[in-house]
Amino acid sequence: MTEKPTGNHSKTILYIIGGLAFMAALVFGFNSIGLKSMVETMKPLVEFLTPYMAFPERASEHSLKMDAMMVAVHLLMLVLFLGWSAYFIYVLIRFRESKHPKADYLGAQNKRFTTLAEFGVIAAEIVLIACFAVPLWAEVVVAEKFPQKSDNPVIVRVVAQQFGWNTRYQGKDDTFGKQDVRFISPENKFGYSPTDNAGNDDVVPPFNSMTVPTGRPVIIYLSSTDVIHSYKVVPLRICQDAIPGLVIPMHFKANKPGNYMITCAQLCGDGHAKMRGFLNVVSPSEFDKWLLDSAPKPKTTNAPPVNLE
């Protein structure tokens, strides 16, 4: 009767448990530091690498976090590239034909180094996903992280069409007019009810233009009238698909005034390349003035007075 090699099994199980505990401790450690302070620590490095990595300018609060993650991912890739390249060159020299004319069919027996290296890479990748990517993603999409009413957000409705962007702001009453799909027409892309007075003071900027203030959160409710488009402003590091039949919210806080291009990031038809708008980021006081100046003027009639006699 042969004995079962139980010793090896329990050793493997111990390694797995040890590995998992190590990863959990690593993730817990990094998460307790927090995304914000990790990004703050990396800030000088990100700024130093910005020209070398050709990062576009940063114009929103979360853009530094995204660039910090890009730097972290690229640093890991650099370490992997240098490490594996060095190992490759070492193997080429160490096992060259002149010293080893006959191939060894068993190959390397000691795999401790490569196994350790593999687990190191896995640990680094888990930290990147669990401590950078997921918390950053959560900040953007989780409902609790959306700006609340007390944060005084600017609310904008954006409807994409082939090929451009329609935008609409709440007027003085802080309420949009009622919408219904039955009212959608080439002149009424948002489908606003002509009989609902709440929409009378809504601000409708010219086609393909949008204005937001710095320092105040902006919530965009994004939709499309025809095909799938994607609202993308590179300096703000925002990109969201606009899907017909769905209204998708997104939020950001701009922190640098400027005129930034809104591009469509989904191939949406033959005019896709020309589908661009402009997002004007201005100071809060300039924004208030712009909103006031853009408000619809009370309707005046040019009809001649009716003679009632």
Binding site for Cu ion (CB under 5 A): 229, 264, 268, 275
Q: Is 280 exposed, middle or buried (0-12, 13-18, 19+ CB in 10 A)?
A: middle
| Residue among 214, 205, 217 at smallest CA distance from 165 | 205
C-beta of 262: minimal distance to Cu ion in Å? Answer: 10
| For Cu ion, the closer CB: 214 or 230 | 230
Token pair of 166, please?
Answer: 């329609």
- Rounded distance between C-alpha atoms, residue 171 and residue 204, angstroms: 9
C-beta of 184: minimal distance to Cu ion in Å? Answer: 18
| For Cu ion, the closer CB: 220 or 268 | 268
C-beta of 266: minimal distance to Cu ion in Å? Answer: 6
| For Cu ion, the closer CB: 262 or 268 | 268
- Rounded distance between C-alpha atoms, residue 104 and residue 107, angstroms: 6
User: What does DSSP assign to residue 155?
Assistant: E
Answer yes or no: are the C-beta atoms of 231 and 262 closer than 8 Å.
yes
| For Cu ion, the closer CB: 27 or 184 | 184
C-beta of 275: minimal distance to Cu ion in Å? Answer: 4
Answer yes or no: are the C-beta atoms of 243 and 223 closer than 8 Å.
yes
Token pair of 31, please?
Answer: 């998460």
Task: List the alpha helices (DSSP H) in the chain.
Answer: 6-33, 35-49, 63-94, 112-127, 134-141, 284-294
In the block, tokens 């998460």 appear at 31
| For Cu ion, the closer CB: 214 or 225 | 225
C-beta of 270: minimal distance to Cu ion in Å? Answer: 11
φ, ψ for residue 69 (rounded to 5)?
-65, -40
C-beta of 206: minimal distance to Cu ion in Å? Answer: 18
- Rounded distance between C-alpha atoms, residue 12 and residue 276, angstroms: 57
C-beta of 248: minimal distance to Cu ion in Å? Answer: 15
| For Cu ion, the closer CB: 49 or 184 | 184
| For Cu ion, the closer CB: 25 or 273 | 273
Cβ neighbors of 190 (< 8 A, separation 6 or more) are 157, 159, 166, 168, 179, 184
| For Cu ion, the closer CB: 179 or 225 | 225
C-beta of 272: minimal distance to Cu ion in Å? Answer: 5
- Rounded distance between C-alpha atoms, residue 155 and residue 136, angstroms: 22
